Structure 1
Amino acid sequence: MRKVLVAVAGCCLLLASSIARADMPGDPLSWLGRIASAAERVNFTGTFMYQSGAHSETSRIAHRVDEHGQFERLEVLDGSPREVIRVGSEVRCVLPDERTVIIDRANSRRVFPVRLPETFGSLAESYRISKGRVSRVAGYEAQAILLEPRDNLRYGRTLWAERQTGLLLKSRIVDEDGGVVEQITFNDVRIGGEIGEELLTPRFEYNDSWRVVHAGGNEIGREETGWGATPPLPGFAPVSAMKRPLGQDRGEAIHLVFSDGLASISVFIEPLSAEAPQDQLGEQSNGAINIYKRAAHGHLITALGEVPARAVRRLGDAVQPGAH
């Protein structure tokens, strides 16, 4: 899974400059392709706001791509301090208050402004995709792309892409009634130009006394997991399977990912301990993420994703051993 970026960094830079000069595409699928690649190939820095229900927070981000690969620093400016540092294919999430560092792979993250996969497959089977109006976001002209779900198992989305580069400037998720579930938007952003080392230098230092969590798992074949979903959730196909460590003396969890090409649902399957609190089973939510937990076959099954609650429940209930 680990991507080697150094060998292709020069090509990425050339592609980034050519994107800025290219004619703007007319069809919405081409716009989605530009959005998917721009955040990986364009230098930018700015602040953006995340809003979900009554919760909001502001983050500062700087991203640089050069002949040595990709570098990024994201700092949450509200509440408890958090910092995410990317160097090449590795991401470190630093939590100073908890004296904890979480190490993961860069390609496991789909956070703003990287909100789309590199390929879309049969996305049009699950969404009606169209171009919206051009409007201004953070001082730039932005093309709106609308994704309207064809059923009630996924949310609707609107994406606003900067017209010259395709960089995502704003993202909105809405429920079936049109209510805003989540919105992320740049308050200010500078696209292109040099990104100095001072913008990428970590603010927080840590040492050997901190707890280090290696979140990256080992990818395995889906047939090796011994688990699957029957019946499958319409429009969602299995896209990856891995084993992730649970911590000292706790063994491993199986992590399955199902996707419709845009939204994804993660399913974690771990041995059920006798101490597991039963009152935490059932449906929960955390912002735009819905969570469903059930105990079955001697395991705790947790399904979660930025999809309606009915979708995570249906998939969570469908997961069972021996299904593929």
Structure 2
Amino acid sequence: MALLALCLPAAAFAQQQCETLDPSVTRLLQAMSSNAQQVSYSGVVTLQRGGDMQIMELSHSVENGQSTEQLSRLTGQDALVERSGHPTECMHPGHQLLRSADLFDGSFCGLASVYRFRVQPGDRIAGRKSLRLRVEPRDMYRFGHVLELDEDTALILKSSTLSADQSVLEQFQFASLDLMPGKSPEAQIAHEASHPHPHETEHLRQGIAWDLAWLPDGFMATDSAPTASQRKSYTDGLASFSVFLEPLGAAIKPGEGVARQGSTVAYTRGVLLQRRPVLVTVLGEIPTNTARMLADSVRLR
């Protein structure tokens, strides 16, 4: 309930902003959100973070209402990631914000309250025509994005994450793309996703009860994690982050640690909360100052 209350001011502001949201942006967001799960495709993609460039092969197939994804690295050390048996109608909080009909009468107010959108002619990516969607943050707590969307399917052909000075932090792009035939379901039925935290044992869940006293507008919890869970995750529909709280046996020296790779930051700090030493870690696609403010807002319940 506390998290819901934190999100309500953004919702109220969003309803004022929705009247200025261009209908072309709404249609593009709707297509991007729904087609991403319904279209089968494969291709070669590049991921650039600073001076690091990785080339990978990506495939996404849909059959009988289930999606399967496979990602394999073609450069550097071999790595293969596969996800299978995921219902295409499964709706996560991020999808809810993109497809926010249940929240704000079919408009995209949840995102419009914290981002500005502009549609422009796009470049030719992987041999396909695209539309460019510029996503500009309304505050300093999140990054901007430039998305090149396929004109026919609204799949993201290229995605660039921008810092406040407009420098590119991270860029994903299809070098080649093959669309595979697939049958879209005749009806869409939304089911709330309720997945357990991966690799989180009951021992890890039995921490101390805590919460955040502050969240940037527009962010909501991605799941119903217990109050004593050592990890809680949040999203605004485009960006996401997790906050970890680890009880310590003894206090550590004051200070903070910051590591960044592309758009992802890892921020750590040892603090005393009600005389209890804990280690707070914030990991996500957010600016460093946002991560610092989130760590400052951790409170024991």
TM-score range with shorter-chain normalisation?
Answer: 0.7 to 0.9
The CA deviation string for residues 179-237 of structure 1, in whole angstroms up to 9 with x for no partner, is 0011100000011337xxxxxxxxxxxxxxxxxxx825589xxxx97322223334434
* Equivalent position of 2:233 in the other structure: 257
Q: Give, in whole Å, the separation in 2 of the partners of 1:279 and 1:285.
A: 21
Match of 2:31 among 18, 31, 34: 34
* Equivalent position of 1:233 in the other structure: 216
In 2, are the aligned partners of 1:237 and 1:259 still within 8 Å (CA)?
yes
User: Which secondary structure does the structure 2 equivalent of 1:122 belong to?
Assistant: helix
Q: Give, in whole Å, the separation in 1 of the partners of 2:75 and 2:252.
A: 31
User: Which secondary structure does the structure 2 equivalent of 1:313 belong to?
Assistant: helix
The CA deviation string for residues 21-41 of structure 1, in whole angstroms up to 9 with x for no partner, is xxxx95212212211222211
* Equivalent position of 1:309 in the other structure: 288
* Equivalent position of 1:169 in the other structure: 157
* Equivalent position of 1:127 in the other structure: 115
In 1, are the aligned partners of 2:134 and 2:147 still within 8 Å (CA)?
yes
Matched, 1:321 2:292: no
Instruction: Give the number of equivalent residue pairs.
Output: 249
The CA deviation string for residues 230-281 of structure 1, in whole angstroms up to 9 with x for no partner, is 23334434443436xxxxxxxx95221233332122101122255x986994
In 1, are the aligned partners of 2:68 and 2:86 still within 8 Å (CA)?
no
Q: Give, in whole Å, the separation in 2 of the partners of 1:270 and 1:117.
A: 32
Unaligned 5+ runs, structure 2: 1-21, 101-107, 183-196
Q: 1:67 to 1:232 in 2, by over 3 A?
A: closer
In 2, are the aligned partners of 1:121 and 1:261 still within 8 Å (CA)?
no
The CA RMSD over aligned residues, in Å, is: 3.4
Q: Give, in whole Å, the separation in 1 of the partners of 2:121 and 2:201.
A: 43
Q: Superposition pairs for residues 1-324 of structure 1, below 5 Å?
A: 27-67=24-64, 69-89=66-86, 118-119=99-100, 122-193=110-181, 215-217=198-200, 226-242=209-225, 254-273=230-249, 281-296=256-271, 297=273, 298-322=277-301
Structure 1 range deviating more: 44-53 or 294-303: 294-303
Q: 1:146 corresponds to which letter in structure 2?
A: R
Q: 1:232 to 1:73 in 2, by over 3 A?
A: closer
User: Which secondary structure does the structure 2 equivalent of 1:137 belong to?
Assistant: coil
Q: 1:225 to 1:180 in 2, by over 3 A?
A: same
TM-score w.r.t. length of structure 2: 0.72
User: Which secondary structure does the structure 2 equivalent of 1:240 belong to?
Assistant: coil
Unaligned 5+ runs, structure 1: 1-24, 91-105, 195-213, 244-251
Q: Give, in whole Å, the separation in 1 of the partners of 2:55 and 2:252.
A: 34
User: Which secondary structure does the structure 1 equivalent of 2:48 belong to?
Assistant: strand
Percent sequence identity over matched residues?
A: 30
Q: 1:291 to 1:88 in 2, by over 3 A?
A: same
